[in-house]
Structure 1
Amino acid sequence: MSKPVEVFSLFTDFDISLFRSGKHYRLYEKFGSQTVFLNGRQGVYFAVWAPNAKKVSVVGNFNGWNPHSHELFVRWDESGIWEGVIFNIGIGELYKYSIETHQGDILEKSDPFALVMEVPPKTASMVSTTWYQWKDEKWMRNRNEHNRLDRPIAVYELHLGSWIRDPHESERLLTYREIAEKLVPYVKSMGFTHVELMPIMEHPYYPSWGYQITGYFAATSRYGTPQELMYLIEQLHKQDIGVILDWVPSHFPGDAHGLYRFDGSALYEHEDMRKGFHPDWKSYIFNYGRNEVRSFLISNALFWLDRYHIDGLRVDAVASMLYLDYSRNAGEWEPNEFGGRENLEAVHFIKEFNEAVYVNYPDVQTIAEESTSWPGVCKPTYDNGLGFGMKWMMGWMHDTLNYFKEDPINRQYHHDKLTFSSVYAFHEHFMLPLSHDEVVYGKHSLINKMAGDEWQKFANLRALYLYMYTFSGTKLMFMGGEFGQLGEWNVNQSLDWHLISEAPHKGLMSYVKGLNTLYKNEPALYEKAFSAEGFEWLEMGDTQQSIFAYIRKGHDKHNDVVVVINMTPVVREHYRLGVPSSGNWEVIFNSDELNYYGSGVSVGNIKSEAKHWMNKDNSITLTLPPLGGLVLKLTT
């Protein structure tokens, strides 16, 4: 008679050595629930790390959730891994781990490596698979051409459950497949190069937006199965659209079924709450000094790149990881061994994460949401950097939005808010974000941050977007910004898509589409996006008229473009602008066109004269539209 659980292991001695040293980056191939076929019988192999447990068993529907029925075996090698095979169960089986602590408590925990979890508020894990017959070979083969830092990268950030919902059942979340039918053609038509999905890992509390994760390896079941998510990603790839995921290695919630005190001890988090508790989010901070925890997190990062063909990871809240005193008062944090505020264990983890990603997937990108002036975020680790591919330019975002909130009559006193970022723009590989964080919690939607009446608000937003798309760096826009969503983002409802039938919103949508086309068609706007050689101010001191002018440069000087933006509602006639070459200059983009809901002001004659201006030997005279800008290019 066979035992309820039989001894078996997927771990080799080498696996255990790598795991315990923090160097095993494919733990998802070993841990969790894996279907196996042994001695002519089908079963499921379970493996879980719980080094401080007294006893671990698997409970589920198959045994009436009885913690005494199917006990796992602890390995002899002091790795803290419990494992074993249960036969006659398979795909679709619900289960948890029942963990008895040395204090006599019984904990029921979801599997940290579960591939699927029940739809919240239920919390059981499910035996599943990530097998999928991918059909995105062309994208994967040529992905580097889309992800390189000298290519256009215009990201559309979205939250899957509130981008769009069924108009007939507003409470119902669409499935990954239903979203694919609408999202893929929309993003393609708008011209974005990538989408960034806010966290899709399983999370119990929907209003956390996915940033409080309990199932790091489980795509949320709210929208369907892993294979349906893979279908969405595949369809985006077929249209040459990359997929970036938000990834949260900074903290996790204290839900009873999650990682918190997993085996009765502080296993994934720090025991010392000066390091282990996040005061802002009331969550728990990973213990980056523990080798097994680093293996868990880096394995998770590579899991999404491997199994889901993800093209980039945007790492959330990096600043909170780097500083021991982040959001803490004096006495609430402990300095590092050198007396500093830097979290040296987190720095080591971040470097190791980036090295592992780029060694295994050199054609993807990692992007840091890092809000401080930490040096070398995008430098290689061998040059003492953190090793990220890009970094969100948070200072640019805040300064720019503060500028556009000002009444145009006062902008002459805030001119430096738009010029200051050029001082440090090339210290990192910056992405210019207009993200979800800026349109919630009373901050207003982007359109309602703008000064003036309705026409001026839309003109201001067009001017902002022109500045964003023509300034150095890659681009990110949160959903709804492309058509002027009026209300703040609400995670529990769809965007206000009915607005796009109204002229101002329809015009703005056409405008963003035009900007994406301009950006992708003009090499000067992306080839040297992270180099000072790609940007030159023509006019940065015209505070009285609030006019800005600059040149963007690519590898070929014949592709250079000149940008001039008038940040007041006054038409500026006969405005003289220095240009880098003589000849006929063509307006290749005008934010004031009538089909963009602009005023249609005529620009005038733009043949250059041999008149020295703005440190250039040649110049042109223009009529600058109100709250508008022009992009010009030499034609002869």
Structure 2
Amino acid sequence: MKRLNLVKNDPWLEPYNDTIEFRHRLTVDKKKELTQKTGSLSDFATGYLYFGLHRDKDGWVIREWAPNASEIYLIGNFSEWKELPRYKFKAKKNGIWELKLKADELHHLDLYKLSMHWPGGQGERIPAWATRVIQDEKTYIFSAQVWNPEKPYRFKKKKFVPQTSPLLIYECHIGMAQEEERVGTYDEFRRNVLPRIAKAGYNAIQIMAIQEHPYYGSFGYHVSSFFAPSSRFGTPDDLKHLIDDAHALGITVIMDIVHSHAVKNEVEGLGRYDGSYSQFFYGDGRREHPAWDSLCFDYGKNEVIHFLLSNCKYWLEEYNFDGFRFDGVTSMLYYNHGLGKSFNGYPDYYDGGQDENAITYLSLANELIHAVNPNAITIAEEMSGMPGLAVPTEDGGIGFDYRMAMGIPDFWIKTIKEKKDEDWKPATIFWEVTNRRSDEKTINYAESHDQALVGDKTIIFRLIDDKMYWHMMKGDKDFTVDRGMALHKIIRLVTLSTINGGYLNFMGNEFGHPEWIDFPRQGNEWSYKYARRQWSLVDREDLKYQYLANFDAAMISLVKGIKNFEKIPIEKIWDNESDQILAFRRKDLLFIFNFHPAKSYSDYGILTSKGEYRTALNTDSPQFGGFGLIDESITHFTIPDPLYKKEKKEWLKLYIPARSAMVLKLHKNIKSKNNNI
């Protein structure tokens, strides 16, 4: 077999070349099979234009795929929720059912469902292709809703090209983005939160919980209606307006899409849509996810591939999303969903335990997304480290643009929980934030929503804990708060400054939002107290949260100001375990970290490129809640050393306070003088 670029770029993959080529061939062959009639994946993935409810020149037409059904009726408020002959579907070929209605038989905002009959049973169902689903506030019952406004929202910004150099993502959840103890809306987010994100300097948002889900507390990961934006946040037009305004601000909009599993619900979801167990999902022991209490898609079925690929294109075309973060990719890749496996080496990725059908689907999804929009962004949430995940499919990869660096937040939490400050090792830290494949772009992050959920703690809350309730007033001196804020800044800076693709922050964590996230549930008496963001904390001039927000904005601004920052090679200059000093450079920027909790260093020598350096960022600055121990007005000149003359390296002698970091910028190369600088 031929050797693909994935193997050529990594000789250690040579023993697995046949498996990699086999997977590549599966994708090529499946694409050929699916497109033999349509000609392209994009034309194949148009199910949303055929299935579901549509208004045309003759009236209404609704189509659904239900091969096990024996009869289907459309029921709703227009039929008093009864099965009437006029609303009975007709069976077509290949398990497709169709109903045509006159224009005056359905109206905007009408509620409807399917009354599905199958051999030996019957039940109400939300149409699989429904694009609008709402929940009754009194009965809590879900129904599909006709959405056909007289004046639908029209996008003002037709074309938008994401800025990805670097990609700076603000992960967010619409419902919890407001301060009041309730569910927030698309409109509130558009008006109140988007300006904050733009001001903070992020150039992308990654929105969670868009696809309709019955249980709010699932964080949007137990999806029931894949084509319907969650109505608890507002209307489809509200979501379009939000995306349009984000684009106007230069902000890319990424959707957190869930194709790794589905909610088990049968009335609201696809659990037993046509009465069978194996229509969308595996019908055997693989049907139920052992850890998530959900159902697993059968990626070997062309109809399922059609449904999911059409879902990708739908969100791109109908809502102008700029791409997707695919949730639960590890679970998709392995028959055992990656559970209980350590992934210690390459054999673990090629031992026969991989779901080749899922790998084929993900490869096709990436090809489709980039065919529909060449500028689209795809990100994989994947923890096993499978090689080639973020390598183009033509090179033998799965085709994602980025992969989440999931080991980094795990490392930070483990370090904070288990190690004394004196035991933080610079070399280990540097390894963890730069440990990645050279041929794949990653998204670095110190923490996401995962680390903020109840049962865990955010970095700031783990560092400061209940002292946040009493000692976050400016002027209040508290050692625990000072330590926590210092480490919060350092952790973020070393995580962001070492990116090779992008950086992610969860909503509010940039300013040290206190406490955890806990959605309303029976265990907390259905309280919204912890399912919100207290923006007033960062807005108050008398609180220290502003310091952390100011630093985050300055840090983001620094890397945005350097062209192709994420592509600049990282050169480690120094790490010393006893001193706890780490230094590395990226072209003209020199990053210096002192992780030591007590030792400040005077005239600490850093061997680097000769020249004149000035302070570009300093975590100890008073504007960031620091002690102001560094004089940022000083210009630092390198001092020559005959031993390093050939290497064109000279010494910088610096004052580096304990538990601080600074970024120096090389302003110009100079001919160092042999004098006492």
In the TM superposition, what is the alpha-carbon distance from 1:27 to its structure 2 partner?
0.8
Check the 8 A contact 2:323/2:369 in 1, yes or no: no
Q: What is the DSSP-based 3-state SS (H/G/I as helix, E as strand, rest coil) of the residue aligned with 1:453?
A: helix
Q: What is the DSSP-based 3-state SS (H/G/I as helix, E as strand, rest coil) of the residue aligned with 2:54?
A: strand
> 1:482 aligned to 482, 487, 510, which one?
510
Question: Who is 1:122 aligned against?
Answer: 141
Q: Which moved more, 1:214-223 or 1:113-122?
A: 113-122
> 2:301 aligned to 276, 290, 302, which one?
290
Q: What is the DSSP-based 3-state SS (H/G/I as helix, E as strand, rest coil) of the residue aligned with 1:216?
A: strand
> 1:497 aligned to 529, 535, 539, which one?
535
In the TM superposition, what is the alpha-carbon distance from 1:403 to its structure 2 partner?
2.9
Q: What is the DSSP-based 3-state SS (H/G/I as helix, E as strand, rest coil) of the residue aligned with 2:511?
A: coil
Q: Which moved more, 1:298-307 or 1:271-280?
A: 271-280
1:347 maps to 2:366: no
Please tell me the residue identity of whatever aligns with 2:606: L
1:606 maps to 2:636: yes
> 1:371 aligned to 383, 393, 400, which one?
383
In structure 2, distance between residues paired with 1:445 and 1:423: 23
Check the 8 A contact 1:400/1:418 in 2, yes or no: no
CA 1:35–1:496 in structure 2 vs 1: closer, same or farther (change >3 Å)?
same
Question: Who is 2:96 aligned against?
Answer: 81
Deviation per CA, 1:365-396: give whole Å up to 9, x if none. 00000001211001111111000000000112
In structure 2, distance between residues paired with 1:22 and 1:475: 30
In the TM superposition, what is the alpha-carbon distance from 1:594 to its structure 2 partner?
0.3
> 2:395 aligned to 359, 366, 383, which one?
383
Question: Who is 1:556 aligned against?
Answer: none
In structure 1, distance between residues paired with 2:321 and 2:457: 32
In the TM superposition, what is the alpha-carbon distance from 1:401 to its structure 2 partner?
3.4
In the TM superposition, what is the alpha-carbon distance from 1:480 to its structure 2 partner?
1.6
1:95 maps to 2:108: no
TM-score under structure 1 length normalisation: 0.87
Question: Who is 1:446 aligned against?
Answer: 459
Check the 8 A contact 1:564/1:629 in 2, yes or no: yes
CA 1:511–1:544 in structure 2 vs 1: closer, same or farther (change >3 Å)?
same
> 2:71 aligned to 29, 40, 55, which one?
55
In structure 1, distance between residues paired with 2:296 and 2:42: 18
In structure 1, distance between residues paired with 2:88 and 2:374: 42
Report matched runs for 1:544-563 at 5 Å.
Answer: 544-553=578-587, 560-563=588-591
1:508 maps to 2:529: no
Q: What is the DSSP-based 3-state SS (H/G/I as helix, E as strand, rest coil) of the residue aligned with 1:281?
A: coil
In the TM superposition, what is the alpha-carbon distance from 1:200 to its structure 2 partner?
1.0
CA 1:47–1:263 in structure 2 vs 1: closer, same or farther (change >3 Å)?
same
Q: What is the DSSP-based 3-state SS (H/G/I as helix, E as strand, rest coil) of the residue aligned with 1:351?
A: helix
Report matched runs for 1:6-45 at 5 Å.
Answer: 24-38=44-58, 43-45=59-61
Deviation per CA, 1:249-285: give whole Å up to 9, x if none. 0100111211011101124443444322111111000
Check the 8 A contact 2:427/2:582 in 1, yes or no: no
Question: Who is 1:356 aligned against?
Answer: 368
In structure 2, distance between residues paired with 1:613 and 1:635: 21
Question: Who is 1:575 aligned against?
Answer: 604
Q: What is the DSSP-based 3-state SS (H/G/I as helix, E as strand, rest coil) of the residue aligned with 1:424?
A: coil
Q: Which moved more, 1:83-92 or 1:252-261?
A: 83-92
Gaps of 5+ in 2: 1-33, 342-349, 465-478, 520-527, 669-677
Please tell me the residue identity of whatever aligns with 2:298: N
In the TM superposition, what is the alpha-carbon distance from 1:129 to its structure 2 partner?
4.4
Check the 8 A contact 1:72/1:84 in 2, yes or no: yes
CA 1:422–1:55 in structure 2 vs 1: closer, same or farther (change >3 Å)?
same
1:263 maps to 2:274: yes
1:228 maps to 2:242: no
Report matched runs for 1:428-439 at 5 Å.
Answer: 428-433=440-445, 434-439=447-452
Report matched runs for 1:182-197 at 5 Å.
Answer: 182-197=192-207
Q: Which moved more, 1:601-610 or 1:50-59?
A: 601-610
In structure 1, distance between residues paired with 2:328 and 2:339: 15
Check the 8 A contact 1:269/1:284 in 2, yes or no: no
Please tell me the residue identity of whatever aligns with 1:163: A
Deviation per CA, 1:18-76: give whole Å up to 9, x if none. 69x997201111111101232xxxx321100001111111111111212243110111x
Task: Count matched residues.
Answer: 584
Q: What is the DSSP-based 3-state SS (H/G/I as helix, E as strand, rest coil) of the residue aligned with 2:193?
A: helix
Check the 8 A contact 1:34/1:127 in 2, yes or no: no
> 2:167 aligned to 123, 130, 153, which one?
153
Question: Who is 1:628 aligned against?
Answer: 660
Gaps of 5+ in 1: 1-13, 331-337, 529-533, 554-559
1:301 maps to 2:312: yes
TM-score under structure 2 length normalisation: 0.82
In the TM superposition, what is the alpha-carbon distance from 1:82 to its structure 2 partner?
0.2
Question: Who is 2:558 aligned against?
Answer: 518
Deviation per CA, 1:2-33: give whole Å up to 9, x if none. xxxxxxxxxxxx999669x9972011111111
Question: Who is 1:10 aligned against?
Answer: none
In structure 1, distance between residues paired with 2:109 and 2:97: 22
Please tell me the residue identity of whatever aligns with 1:436: H
In structure 1, distance between residues paired with 2:414 and 2:57: 62
1:537 maps to 2:548: no
> 1:134 aligned to 117, 137, 155, which one?
155
List 4+ stretches of structure 1 deviating above 4 A: 14-19, 327-330, 612-616
In structure 2, distance between residues paired with 1:420 and 1:624: 23
In structure 1, distance between residues paired with 2:201 and 2:581: 28
Check the 8 A contact 1:524/1:552 in 2, yes or no: no
In structure 2, distance between residues paired with 1:400 and 1:472: 16
In structure 1, distance between residues paired with 2:340 and 2:616: 53
In structure 2, distance between residues paired with 1:385 and 1:280: 28
RMSD: 2.5
Q: What is the DSSP-based 3-state SS (H/G/I as helix, E as strand, rest coil) of the residue aligned with 2:375?
A: coil
In the TM superposition, what is the alpha-carbon distance from 1:100 to its structure 2 partner?
0.5
* Percent identity of equivalent pairs: 27
In structure 1, distance between residues paired with 2:429 and 2:334: 27
Q: Which moved more, 1:88-97 or 1:592-601?
A: 88-97
Deviation per CA, 1:491-526: give whole Å up to 9, x if none. 333222332224321100111111111111122633
In structure 2, distance between residues paired with 1:508 and 1:423: 27
Check the 8 A contact 2:63/2:99 in 1, yes or no: yes
Please tell me the residue identity of whatever aligns with 1:537: K
CA 1:329–1:487 in structure 2 vs 1: closer, same or farther (change >3 Å)?
closer
